[in-house]
Copies of this chain bind each other. A is one copy, B any other.
Amino acid sequence: MTTPGRGLHGRVLDTLGPEITGGGYPPGSVLRTDELAQRFDVSRSVMREAVRVLESMHLVESRRRVGVTVRAESEWNVYDPQVIRWRLAGADRPRQLRSLTVLRSAIEPVAAGLAARHATPEQCAELTERALGMVAHSRGHKLEGYLLHDVAFHRVILEASGNEMFARLGDVVAEVLAGRTHHDVMFEDPDPAAVTLHVRVAEAVRARDAARAEELTREITVGALQELDILAP
């Protein structure tokens, strides 16, 4: 997604990373660097670099005289974009999308509220532009065009919040939205109510109405939760 073949160690990670995040090795499993190097037909230096990266993601732990042991899932750096991508590509993709959608539902309303206070005129403009783009692509099976504007819309909201922690979730939201469009729910055209909500959020931000922007965004994310049968009674 980001950088396909950035060297041999990257190539190794492309297959070893998903294997680990996919649960291919139970926690505590021990891998030997030399064996891995042999398996991937690379030198020990390259293999060591790959292991270092996995170690920095807390996927594995390297100890002398023992080897490279796979850590429990609860220790992984699940916010690492690479780890997120690997997990979304794996078997428990549905569970991932649920986790991330719940995360969205917590973050985005607050981000929208902040955006209403901090958005620049340019950001306000792009927001309405994207909302209108969503309207324009909401009928007639133009799902790809719709997705494009949807992703951009939420990205602007997160960036306009002025909080860098929120802003950095843009990629995550993009993955979730793309996942919804391509693999899971979303049958025909998108829900007209959701489209309208986006337009109203753009208006609220433009009007500097933080409370309304927050509440409207909350409605959007509640809709996303419902799509995945995550109840909030």
A33 within 8 A of partner (CB)? no
Number of copies: 2
A82 within 8 A of partner (CB)? yes
Partner among B45, B52, B163, B164 whose Cβ is within 8 Å of the Cβ of A9: B52
Stretch binding the partner chain, chosen from A34-42, A97-105, A121-129, A143-151: A97-105
Are B56 and A165 closer than 8 Å at their CB atoms? no
The tally of residues in A whose CB lies under 8 Å from a CB in B reads 34
CB distance from A71 to the nearest CB of B (A): 12
A82 to B99, CA, bound (A): 23
Are A82 and B56 closer than 8 Å at their CB atoms? yes
A82 to B164, CA, bound (A): 17
A223 within 8 A of partner (CB)? no
Partner among B52, B74, B165 whose Cβ is within 8 Å of the Cβ of A78: B165
Stretch binding the partner chain, chosen from A20-28, A106-114, A134-142, A181-189: A106-114
8 sample A-B contacts, Cβ–Cβ < 8 Å, listed by A number: A48-B49, A49-B52, A53-B56, A73-B164, A74-B164, A74-B167, A77-B79, A102-B166
Interface on A for B, CB 8 Å cutoff?
9, 45, 48-49, 52-53, 55-57, 73-74, 77-82, 99-100, 102-103, 105-107, 109-111, 114, 163-168
